[in-house]
Structure 1
Amino acid sequence: MPVLLLLGAPGCAPTAQALASGEIAFEGQNYRIVHVDLRREGLSLHWRDPQSGQPFSSIETLRQWGEQHGRHLLFAANAGIYDHKFAPLGLYVENGKTVVPLNLAHGNPASGNFSLLPNGVFAVYPDGHAAVRTSAAFKADGKSAKWATQSGPMLLIDGKLNEQFVDDSSSLKWRSGVCVKTPTEVVFAVSEAPVNFHTFGRLFRDKLGCRDALYLDGSISQLYVDGEGYAGAPAFMVKPYAGIFAVFAKP
């Protein structure tokens, strides 16, 4: 099980805070897992500096921006898949504002994994609850999100692996994903070595106990945990992000 790490050392943040984070093994591979309790921790999504309008592009840039504004970064992860212009390819909602609308276009080869259907949405709602839904189900719900990213493919749908996945697939990549175990418990995971979709989906189902999980991205994916550094893809693989999840220390 993930261990509890104390994040936010004295002198670095107003108060020490705990975020559940740890490394687990599954079928011979290691994964970094981070649990976010929405009852205690504010999960937010960031693409552009609100003052300059320039994309943050990297976790380090977001961390520095936070420090300049008196906000200490405890956790960060890349959000969903984006296009060749480094803009979100699908739905992107930041602090209640829909910056990019829901994308239900199908079969575009340029969309890569996004077009491996069904794709889905991870959303945090104004009441503080979160959910992972297929894109079609999210649209049918008609609920406005406070924070949301669309990506794909769905890894798990109602406890079942995406039927597109092949057990012995040779498509091995560093992979990141997210699930919602309860309406207020969000779990992020990143592989620390290349794995296929089938294995990564089973991690969420069989090891983490999730019923619905969404793939975030592949070879560029990293998680950052304050005091522990980065896990996931090696630094030379990382490219600019269009959307970064973050948990900042509370004042």
Structure 2
Amino acid sequence: MNSTFRKSLILVLGLTALSGCNEQATGEAVVRTEIGGSETGSGSEQGNVASEQRAAVETPCRPVIFENEPFIHCVAVPARHHISTALQSSDGTPYRGLAQYAASRSSDAPPVAFAVNGGMYDDAGDPIGYYVENSERLKELNRNAGEGNFHMLPNGVFYGSDGKWEIRTSDDFFSSVSDRPEFGTQSGPMLVINGKLHPDIATDGTSKAIRNAVGIDTRGRAHFVISNRAVSFGKMARLYRDELDVPNALYLDGNVSALWNPAADRLDTGAAIGPIIVVEKR
């Protein structure tokens, strides 16, 4: 973490997560849940799961402020964490939420450091782009033109195997990656591409939402960020370029963005989601 980052990202203790946003997605708004506190909404079963996970894991997530907006910044380190994707249970039932996924984990599974929604999806919750889980490709790379954030080209793929995690534009992934990774998820748009902001992202556009994204730094660490208030693409992209200093960052989603941080008793619920990115402690 460089000195500029330490000066600019001020740790905020006791930060209250907010759920309002200016643009609404279909379904319920995401609820920032504190298990065992005055605002739960996820049921005792999920609360018990989160409490057990908290006892086993030291949180890698910290509240930060960037350009006067509150974010949560979670870091996955290859030597300490394992990343995977999750979409549905063994019987084929889609999770569609972090609470459902949390409740499904067995007691002997590795402790979860944190988990987030991990890419865009259709009405049934199926990925609309490249998706790999446990080295099995469930959806091919989507290089089609279209509308919406996913098709704000270039979009990209977050993927990895054996503790080596990468983000590439979809075209770069198509031309450069031949071996199937252990996990992979396609989303869009790219926020930062080889150290530069996406050319079509405005400085601070009128579209604002609760957003989340992932970026990989030069040391191979994965930086996950979720906003606690509605923010623009430009602000989140600058956070990655100017403060986290990552060469490539990928937008994951907005409005439905959610975080499970067991050590902090945070388990967001609300609008149905699709793919989930899970970071476990090794």
Aligned to 2:272: 240
* Residue correspondences, number: 235
Kept in 2: contact 1:63–1:72 (CA 8 A): no
Secondary structure of 1:18's match?
Answer: coil
Q: Does 1:33 align with 2:73?
A: yes
Aligned to 1:55: 94
Q: Which runs of 5+ in 1 are unaligned?
A: 4-10
- Structure 1 residue 221 displacement after superposition: 0.1
Structure 2 CA distance for aligned equivalents of residues 82 and 209 of structure 1? 29
- Structure 1 residue 228 displacement after superposition: 1.2
Secondary structure of 1:213's match?
Answer: strand
Aligned to 2:61: 21
Which runs of structure 2 are paired with 1:136-151 in the superposition (5 Å)?
136-143=171-178, 144-151=180-187
Q: Does 1:153 align with 2:189?
A: yes
TM-score calculated relative to the size of structure 2: 0.77
Relative contact order, CA 8 A, sep 6+: which one is greater? Answer: 2
Kept in 1: contact 2:215–2:250 (CA 8 A): yes
Which runs of structure 2 are paired with 1:78-227 in the superposition (5 Å)?
78-106=117-145, 108-109=146-147, 112-125=148-161, 127-143=162-178, 144-182=180-218, 184-227=220-263
Structure 2 CA distance for aligned equivalents of residues 12 and 217 of structure 1? 28
- Structure 1 residue 183 displacement after superposition: 5.6
Q: Which amino acid aligns with 1:245?
A: I
- Structure 1 residues 140 and 227 mapped into 2: Cα distance closer, same or farther (>3 Å)? same
Kept in 1: contact 2:53–2:263 (CA 8 A): no
- Structure 1 residue 182 displacement after superposition: 3.4
- Structure 1 residues 82 and 239 mapped into 2: Cα distance closer, same or farther (>3 Å)? same
Aligned to 1:43: 83
Q: Which amino acid aligns with 1:130?
A: W
Kept in 1: contact 2:58–2:263 (CA 8 A): no
Kept in 1: contact 2:53–2:262 (CA 8 A): no
TM-score calculated relative to the size of structure 1: 0.86
Secondary structure of 2:234's match?
Answer: helix
Over the aligned positions, Cα root-mean-square deviation in angstroms equals 2.3
- Structure 1 residue 210 displacement after superposition: 0.9
Structure 1 CA distance for aligned equivalents of residues 154 and 102 of structure 2? 33
Kept in 2: contact 1:33–1:188 (CA 8 A): yes
